[in-house]
Every structure is written in structure tokens, then in C-alpha cells.
Amino acid sequence: MRFFAALLVFFIHSLQPIGPVDPTGPVNPFADRSVAQGLLKFFGPAGYLGVSFFFLLSGFVITWSVRPGERLTAYWRRRVVKIFPNHLVMWAAAMLLFASAYTPVSTWLPNLFLVNSWINEFTVQMSVNAPSWSLCSELLFYLSFPFLLLAVRRVRTEHLWWWAGGAAAATAGVALVTKTLLPDTPRLPVIPLSPTQNWFNYTFPPMRMFEFVLGMLLARLVIAGRWPRIPAGWVVALLAAGYAAAMYAPAPFNFVSVTVVPFGVAIASVARADVHGVRTRLDGRVLVWLGNVSFGFYLCQGVVIFWGRQKLLGNGQFTTPVAILVMIGMFAATLLGGWLLYACVEMPAMRHLSRSRAERAERAAARSAPADAVTAGAGTADAVAAGTVIPVAAGAGTVIPMAAGTGTGTVAGTVVADAGAPAGLVAEAQAAPITPITPAEPSAAGSGPVRAS
């Protein structure tokens, strides 16, 4: 599913009338004005929606695949290693190829450390490698997740729907504040908002927290068995309706709020299907591979599309058949770049940097020793506050604390591994061997002792 979101972003990037690297020339390769404008109209909301889907999915997957009992420092280390190596490689590539010629240190330095989206200056937000702006929000999500999980875990199961509805409604609230309280001039060249409106509604990390938290709440609903079975046809119809609404709804409401519910329904429904062993056609080898390379595919777009297209082809636009071939070429080059990042940067970094030597030794010892019995109980919140462990919700709020390094467990009967998301969602890291922990006759409320099997 992540790759389809990255593909939406690819289409809007490659169909822009102007680009951030050379604003004097078009990125869109179609010479036929009606075709170019028609495609831009159809894919107009695609970039916003693809990013929104990423944020929702991040909240869902990280909540689903949390390692019970993992130390906070170990968790934060893994998440930083997940995003920074790819970012640094593409940042360096962009600086060497084009950005250093016109980017002052006051602009490239915030981008290097992924704080550029906190600054209300459009040129800073989209500096160096433009797609990396969204990593500022992801970094905030990762750093705040253990503390958000404490709050989400305390929500009673029967209240999860209300909280999820509130998080979805909050995205509309952000758009309403943007529309009514912020200055609407001057307008940005290709975005129907002022720079301040676009920043507050779209790139300012705290305003994107609602999507991430909604993903967390949806994960709890599925884990608790409260998500209903929704026929696939209905899910597809809801997605189509949401996309159509985004095409015609006014900005800024079409950025997030009109599709956050359809996207949430799709993510939770696919997860539920995976839990119940229903094939969704999203767990095939090709789609799993595409999901793995999707992060790199996304990050490469700024260099391949905004610089490479104009560098190789100039400002030329072409007949429709040739323009389609240009689009295919840009797609293939971006996919190749994404695979190279995944194979040569992301995975080696995750293997060698995501754990300290002490953690690797501890993990090896834990795998060689019999699984210790663990009991859900009080004290987990104190441990989190002290920086010791990350909790995970089970059923109606039961917490399964585990020794750091085991990386395994079940939540309401669902196995939770190192990064084990539902197969169709493609976990954000590599799954590790699983030693299941099964609930022993849980009470009607969903709590009870947990034993190692």
C-alpha cells in the first residue's frame, strides 16, 4: 500500500508546470495543453493525499509492530536509522548536483537536520531535496510515539471509535483555521494558498500529528477485534469517492480532511483481512518488493524528476506518445534509484546501525535462552516514564511488558514481531524470528495473565 501512495506523489511531481530546481521551465512533458492540464487536474490532489496516507500508515504500522519492553533509546535509535541514512545520501546528491549553487547555509542547514518544515518560509521547507520536507513530520512522530502510545493505550476500548472520529475531525479543524484565520495572500505559484496557509495546514509537523494518532487508534481498533468486516468493493468505492471529493473540494480541505476517513478505512480493513487470513493481493512478492523500495522511490523524486528531467531533456515538451515514454522513463529511473537506496543504504544501515553492540549481544543471549514468563500488570507506565520500556496495548488496555531484546509477543492473539505489520501493509523494517506469547484464558474485559508458550 505504501508504494501506491508514493506513486500518487510521483504523478503530481512529474506533471508540475514548473519545478523547484529550474522554475523557468516545465516539468510536465506533455506539449498538448489540454492533455497536460487534464492530467494535472486529475492528479492535482495526488501529492497531498499520498503524503497523508504515509502519515496514517506510519501511526498504524508502528503501533501494530511495537516491540513490547523495548528501551526508549533503542527504539529511537532504530527510527532515526530508518530515515536519516537515505535522507543524508539524497541531501548530499542534491547539494552536489544542483542545490549548492543557490542554497545558502541558512537554508540547507535546517534541511540537513530535518527541522526545515518548522520554519514558516516556503523556500526553506522545500530546500535541497524537496520531498524530504515530510521527514520532519515523520521524525516528530517517531520521537513522540512512546508518549503518545501511553495516552492511546489509556483509551478504553469502547471509546476508541469516538477518539478516532475526533482525530479525523481535527484534520478538518486545521483546514478551517487555515481558511478563516490565516492570511490568504500572497498566493504560491502552483498551490491555491498563501505561504503561511500552506505551512500551517500542510508542512508544519504538529498539524500532521492528527493523522498519525488516527493511525494509532485504528491499530488499536483492529488489535482489539473491534474493526468490522467491510467488503473490498465498498472500500474501493469509498476511496474513489474520497479522491473525487479531493479533486473538487476547495483548498485546504482537499489536502487531508476529505480523504482521511477513506484512507483509514482502507488501512484498517486490509489489516483485519490479513489477521483473519484473507488474501488481499497485497502480499505478493512484487508488491512486497515495491513496498520495501517505496521510501527510496519517494526520496529520489526530487533529484530524478526536478533535476534529471530538465538536465537530460531541457525544457522540451513532446507529443503525447513521446511524453508517455518520458513518464515511463522517469518512473523507471526513480524506481531504480529507490531500489539502490534500499539495497545499498537503507538495509545496510538497519543491519549495522539500528542496534548498539550491547543490544546485539543482549538479543543474541535472549534468543538462546528459554522465553521467560511475563505477566501483564502495573508499573509499565512508570517504566516508560523512566525511559525503560515501550508499552503495547492488548485488548481492553492490557499491557504486555517484556524484557528488552526479545522483540516478540502477541497482542489480543495477534503476533507482534520486531517490525511485523500485517503482510499486506509491508512493515517498515525487516521482521525477525517470532517466539509467540499467547494469552491464558483472558477475561471478558480482555485482560489477564500472559504466559510464554
Q: What is the pLDDT of residue 24?
A: 74
Comparing 360 with 105, the larger pLDDT belongs to: 105
CA distance 352 to 298: 23
Q: What is the pLDDT of residue 2?
A: 87
CA distance 348 to 378: 38
Confirm if 360 and 39 have CB atoms less than 8 A apart.
no
Q: Is 268 helix (H, G, I), strand (E, B) or coil?
A: helix
- Of 59, 12, 11, the closest CA to residue 264 belongs to 59
Angle between helices 72-97 and 105-112 (to 10 degrees): 140
Cell of 23: 522554475
Residues 6+ apart with CB under 8 A from 96: none
Cβ-based neighbour number of residue 156 at 10 Å: 11
Residues 6+ apart with CB under 8 A from 311: none
CA distance 363 to 343: 24
Residues 6+ apart with CB under 8 A from 163: 152, 155, 217
Comparing 281 with 159, the larger pLDDT belongs to: 159
The confidence band for 431, taking pLDDT boundaries of 50, 70 and 90, is very low
Peptide bond connecting 45 to the previous residue in cis, omega within 30 degrees of 0: no
Q: In this model, does residue 424 exceed pLDDT 80? A: no
Domain residue limits, the chain: 2-352, 371-452
- Of 245, 264, 265, the closest CA to residue 255 belongs to 245
The confidence band for 364, taking pLDDT boundaries of 50, 70 and 90, is low
Q: What is the pLDDT of residue 279?
A: 78
What is the per-residue pLDDT across 286-320, written as a single tens digit (0 to 9) for each? 999 999 999 999 999 999 999 998 888 888 899 99
Confirm if 259 and 243 have CB atoms less than 8 A apart.
yes
Q: What is the pLDDT of residue 316?
A: 87
Q: What is the pLDDT of residue 370?
A: 54
Q: In this model, does residue 259 exceed pLDDT 90? A: yes
Rounded mean pLDDT of 63-85?
89
DSSP 70: -
The confidence band for 361, taking pLDDT boundaries of 50, 70 and 90, is low
Q: What is the pLDDT of residue 67?
A: 77
What is the per-residue pLDDT across 201-245, written as a single tens digit (0 to 9) for each? 999 999 999 999 999 999 999 999 999 999 999 999 999 999 999
Rounded mean pLDDT of 321-331?
96
